[in-house]
Structure 1
Amino acid sequence: MSRDENRLHLAVQKSGRLSDQSRQLLKDAGLKLLQGGRNELAARAENFPLDLMLVRDDDIPTFVADGVCELGIVGQNVLEEYALGLPEPRIEQVAKLGFGRCSLKIAAPDSLRGFELPMLGGKRIATSYPRLLRRFLETNGLDAEVVAMRGAVELAPRLGIAGFVCDLVSTGATLDANGLAPVADVFDSEAVLVRTMRPIDAAHAEQAQALLTRIDGVIATAESKYIVLNAPEGALPAITHILPGAEAPTVVPLIGRPGHVAVQAVCQESVFWETLERLKAAGASAILVMPIEKMML
């Protein structure tokens, strides 16, 4: 598929950690993606003027910075590693997407005891994120040798390449399988939406804003619940104080129950059983907590 200048272009990971969740995000935003073959490097939305560029994750910042794609979905770790190599900003983070969370950590052989940061001084540290690691070392006043590797970082201590490693950790299973344990946090990451800082025409800007509005709604929906309850009017101050992250609720008188009202609120924080118990203790009854399918902010 050749590049269509009349459509918006979004760079996403072809395969790997963020690929499936990026596609699910777009699906939740109402986009119907035409499925290409396994080796396709592009895909098209049939109900929105958007083409997906399916590329390696570390190529996404370049595609966006150069204006080949107006938007991209990429891990913050990849974005920041790329940005640290630029003389000036060329790409802008628009939104955190709430998936693909992981941490860049320094790890040591699990036989090491009593680790302290100064122990890194003069040591070799293998990593696929040399710029992020160097920034961490400089920030902490540490002088260590950074050994850049493209992959298989966890093998470095076993092969005698380095005494420590600095790699992404989500569950820690890979480190554990290689006899390593995390000893220091370098950078926390999750998937983010980014856009080019190059000028784009009015049509592409309008398309991008429409997509961003949908994505913002998807993110807000995932983090929100709709709560409905009944309560005595006198209990309203206590109840509205308990409702987590709620904007001003809607309050409607209950027919046939003088002095009682129905309260409706969108809560943008987690609603736990403890929250419901506190609401009931404050006087609420008939409490309903419902998911929200769609929301436009």
Structure 2
Amino acid sequence: MLRIAVQSKGRLFDDTMNLLSESDIRITPSKRTLLVKSSNFPLEVLFLRDDDIPQSVANGVADIGVVGENEFCEQQEDAEIIERLGFSKCRLSLAIPKTEEYSGIEYFKGKKIATSYPTILRDFLKSKGVNADIHVITGSVEISPGIGLADAIFDIVSSGSTLVHNNLKEVKVIMNSEALLIGNKQMGVDKKAILKDMLFRFAAVRSAMGKKYVMMNAPKDKVKEITEVLPGIKSPTIIPLADTDWCSIHTVLHEKRFWEIIGKLKELGAQGILVSPIEKMIL
């Protein structure tokens, strides 16, 4: 049985549980239960605070864990990064009152900065030769300048709306963060085998994200031109039809270029274009 530590609530919880669900690993969370077993996969989920996850994995309380890169870097626990998961993206930034003039990193010399990430901030300021007073806060860091507790903040930024609401402006991005899958360095062979199976499922789900399966009928004399505009995984599938002058072409398109490519296909004579969502894709 493999044990994974997962944040007990918030966006990272939602994104992680969605990934497990899409990988057909069934988990039924309960508000009263911290440890829940999957009903169809050798996995149990341990629900923890985000800042407890790195230590739990490093100490072997959990075999693996999903944690924000920002929290992993802050805690500096002896666990290894297994995979970047690509969701729950944010950034850690310095922000100051919007009425202040920002002249560069030297602005923070002698300033009091409120943060929940003192280790990351201290290392950054040291690398820039800036001495500042770091005030550690757990909770609503963004209100600190408004109540006179600090001159600036160093905190997580996603959309930036919280900064705007508190009359702050982002002036320096220190690091970008996303969800990481981390692992205990002493994991046994049996648990590594379960992990390998789980990662295979994760890869299939993530490969399908943002992609569509496209089928169309096309005149045979246009096949070469059509296939040249199709960015297929290897090459599109071409199937003969009852009408010998026509064929069916199947391929996978990324949503980012979908409408651009569909327009070109119609210009080249493609008809009956059918678009389907992709649940999983094995590469």
Length-normalised TM-score, structure 2: 0.89
1:267 aligns with 2:260: no
Q: Deviations over 1:238-297 (max 9, x none)?
A: 434433463322222333233x43221223563432221123234433322211123334
- AA at the equivalent of 1:213: F
Which of 59, 66, 85 is the matching residue for 2:52?
Answer: 59
Which of 272, 278, 281 is the matching residue for 2:264?
Answer: 278
- The SS at the match of 1:158 is helix
Residue 23 of structure 2 aligns with which residue?
Answer: 29
CA distance in 1, matches of 2:165, 2:23: 38
- The SS at the match of 2:25 is coil
- AA at the equivalent of 2:239: V
Which of 218, 237, 249 is the matching residue for 2:236?
Answer: 249
Which of 63, 70, 83 is the matching residue for 1:70?
Answer: 63
Residue 217 of structure 1 aligns with which residue?
Answer: 204
1:179 aligns with 2:199: no
Task: Say if 1:241 and 1:99 are closer, same or farther in 2 by CA, change over 3 A.
Answer: same
Q: CA RMSD in A?
A: 2.3
Task: Say if 1:127 and 1:27 are closer, same or farther in 2 by CA, change over 3 A.
Answer: same
Query: How many correspondences in the alignment?
Result: 283
Residue 188 of structure 1 aligns with which residue?
Answer: 176
Does structure 2 conserve the Cα–Cα contact (< 8 Å) formed by 1:65 and 1:91? yes
CA distance in 1, matches of 2:131, 2:99: 23
Does structure 1 conserve the Cα–Cα contact (< 8 Å) formed by 2:65 and 2:182? yes
Moved more, 265-274 or 9-18: 265-274
CA distance in 1, matches of 2:169, 2:227: 45
Q: Can you give the 5+ residue segments of structure 2 that lack an aligned partner in the other structure?
A: none
Does structure 1 conserve the Cα–Cα contact (< 8 Å) formed by 2:2 and 2:195? yes
Once the two structures are TM-superposed, the CA of residue 110 in structure 1 deviates from its matched residue by 1.2
Residue 33 of structure 2 aligns with which residue?
Answer: 40
Q: Deviations over 1:133-159 (max 9, x none)?
A: 233334445443332222221122133
- AA at the equivalent of 1:15: K
Q: Can you give the 5+ residue segments of structure 1 that lack an aligned partner in the other structure?
A: 1-6
Which of 91, 109, 112 is the matching residue for 2:79?
Answer: 91
- AA at the equivalent of 2:272: A
- The SS at the match of 2:86 is coil
- Spell out the pairing of 1:33-182 with structure 2 (5 A cutoff): 33-36=27-30, 38-83=31-76, 90-182=78-170
CA distance in 2, matches of 1:18, 1:56: 11
- AA at the equivalent of 1:206: A
- The SS at the match of 2:256 is coil
Task: Say if 1:152 and 1:34 are closer, same or farther in 2 by CA, change over 3 A.
Answer: closer
Does structure 1 conserve the Cα–Cα contact (< 8 Å) formed by 2:102 and 2:171? no
Aligned-residue identity in percent? 37
1:290 aligns with 2:283: no
Does structure 1 conserve the Cα–Cα contact (< 8 Å) formed by 2:90 and 2:156? yes
